[in-house]
Structure 1
Amino acid sequence: MAGCAASPKAPKRIETPAEAHARTGERIAADPVAFLREVDERVSRLRQYRLTFYRQERTGLPPRLGPMEEIRAAFRQEPFSVKFNWDSPDMPYYESVYVQGRDDNLLAVRERKGILPFVPPQVRNMDVMLPVKIGKSKNPITDFGLRRMMERTLLPFNIPEIARVMTIRYEGVVGLEPIYRPVFYLRVDRPAGKGMNYARQDLYIDAETLLPAGTDLYLPGDILDVRYRYAHVDPNVQLTDADFRLSPAPPASRPARASAK
């Protein structure tokens, strides 16, 4: 009718984060492996990024679960490049860097402490496998990266005789420490043997970014062997060769990043 104002439309209801998580969770539960392949495809498109890497591993002889390290990490896909910075004064290194094709593919490290009490800290070049061989790390730096982690996770699902005796289930949304973010939690169980080192894997995918947030790997007997966390992933960076070199002098230690709750 002329002269009559149209009735205002009711505001559109916005989906809450909890509702969005529940909807995505239903999709994960319906086909967990398909969801992990989506995550793998997503991280394959990340050509470079910075993140905070939390690492806890059973190392040494006899193997013991060490303290959790907090590492500032930079990653570049081409050429494959990784740089780690440790700010904690308790860590033996200030920084390490690897660039594929540079310096004979050696790992460069700047020590915070000498390898012996009477030996001053130095800059050293070493084979990437040396930290693994001497029990300082479970994996070489060349295995670092969100894509590498997803590839290792999906590998047994690509082997039919292993995949058919494995189970994977979606366990819901949980809060993941020390990054204090909601994550989708998936659990993978594998029978003993079958050529796999781990009997169980707990996998965490950030509920907002849908990027890997961490993983826990268990030996038979429910023994935690590895715990990794990936926080503050920032793909909006422009990394250059200069970002993958050791500092000209020992970098000043700075306080560890406070975790945002």
Structure 2
Amino acid sequence: MTRAVIAIPLVLSLVAICLSSPPQRKYRPSNRPTQPLVKATADQVTQDAELAQTDPVAFLERCIATCQAEVRGYRCTLEKRERIGRTLKPRERLRVAFQERPFSVLMRWEEGGGMASASLYVDGERKNQLLVMPAGVFLSRLGPLTKSLSSPDVVSTSRYSIPEFGIERGMQRTLSAFRRAKDAGTLNVYYEGIRPVPEAGNRLCHVLRREVNPPEEQGLTRVITYIDVATRLQVSSRLTAGNDLVGEYHFRDIELNPVFAPNQFTPEALKRP
């Protein structure tokens, strides 16, 4: 079941302004603009909104197809907070460099991170193990440490493993959950229209709220998904179990398809400030 709670025509003028001018950020401003690859027109935004309202599964499929066709990598800021087991972890803010092939992720913590200041994973290298730069002046002098993805101190830091990282993979998880619920006859998605999302740099986003009944893993009862109207990328999501936060993930300052330096995904990159 889907339902629109905001009239689509009322937001088209706002959409047109957003698509023709740089976004105005009120949330941790930076000079790193998102560069949309999708040259979305008002008509296309309307079509996306109508599809999100009438068939959210098909809408997500369209968004993922765009991502797969257009996105090869990006730099971004990721802000997240997660509940691991029964513990709600502190908020983290990271600068991330990501490329799809070979699958490579470089993360550098600006806030949070615990005992790590940076990490690097490249599929197929170092026996698919993680390189971690310890936090602190003394420990960082020891250089990066090699960690198995299945080691307890790695598993306990996030709800998702490094190979599960990425905007597209987050969209795939959302789509898989929608499909399972649809097959079970329990898909309840409410399209809440288009609005700016401060946590995503005030990008205009399609907002889809899914009420989860019966609850899913970690007692999950509600998922709110935010899809950027210009790029069709899932830039924010918030998962709750009743009144308790399960996880929230916000991508902003997204630079799509940058030209990475040859040493971007090497141990040397872990040492750079």
Normalised by the size of structure 1, how large is the TM-score? 0.77
**Of 116, 120, 125, which residue of structure 2 is paired with 1:93?**
116
Structure 1 match to 2:272: 251
Take 2:149 and 2:76, find their aligned partners in 1: how far apart are those partners?
A: 21
**1:236 and 2:257 matched:** yes
Inter-CA distance 236–94: structure 2 relative to 1 (3 Å threshold):
same
Name the amino acid aligned to 2:220: Y
Structure 1 match to 2:212: 190
Q: How far apart are 1:85 and its partner, in Å?
A: 1.3
Take 1:29 and 1:72, find their aligned partners in 2: how far apart are those partners?
A: 33
Q: How far apart are 1:141 and its partner, in Å?
A: 1.1
Structure 2 match to 1:208: 230
Take 2:255 and 2:269, find their aligned partners in 1: how far apart are those partners?
A: 25
What is the 5 A alignment of 1:1-261? 16-18=13-15, 20=42, 24-45=48-69, 46-59=71-84, 62-67=86-91, 69-88=92-111, 92-113=115-136, 120-121=139-140, 122=142, 123-130=144-151, 135-159=156-180, 162-178=183-199, 179-193=201-215, 198-219=220-241, 221-239=242-260, 242-247=263-268, 250-252=271-273
Name the amino acid aligned to 1:192: P
Structure 2 match to 1:6: none
Over aligned residues, Cα RMSD in angstroms?
2.8
Inter-CA distance 157–137: structure 2 relative to 1 (3 Å threshold):
closer
CA contact (8 A) 1:51 1:74 kept: yes
Take 2:234 and 2:108, find their aligned partners in 1: how far apart are those partners?
A: 21
The Cα offsets for residues 39-80 of structure 1, whole Å up to 9 and x where unpaired, read as 1111122222222111111237x412422x221111112221
The Cα offsets for residues 181-210 of structure 1, whole Å up to 9 and x where unpaired, read as 221110112222567863221100112222
SS at 1:204 equivalent: strand
SS at 2:172 equivalent: helix
SS at 1:175 equivalent: strand
CA contact (8 A) 2:155 2:161 kept: no
Take 1:248 and 1:152, find their aligned partners in 2: how far apart are those partners?
A: 30
SS at 2:95 equivalent: strand
Take 2:171 and 2:267, find their aligned partners in 1: how far apart are those partners?
A: 28
CA contact (8 A) 1:132 1:140 kept: no
CA contact (8 A) 2:118 2:132 kept: yes
Name whichever structure is richer in helix by fraction: 2
CA contact (8 A) 1:156 1:162 kept: no
CA contact (8 A) 1:95 1:109 kept: yes
Name the amino acid aligned to 1:87: E
Q: How far apart are 1:108 and its partner, in Å?
A: 0.2
SS at 2:220 equivalent: coil
CA contact (8 A) 2:190 2:209 kept: yes
Q: How many residues align?
A: 231
Structure 2 match to 1:257: none
Q: Which runs of no fewer than 5 residues in structure 2 stay unpaired? A: 1-11, 17-41
Inter-CA distance 131–187: structure 2 relative to 1 (3 Å threshold):
farther
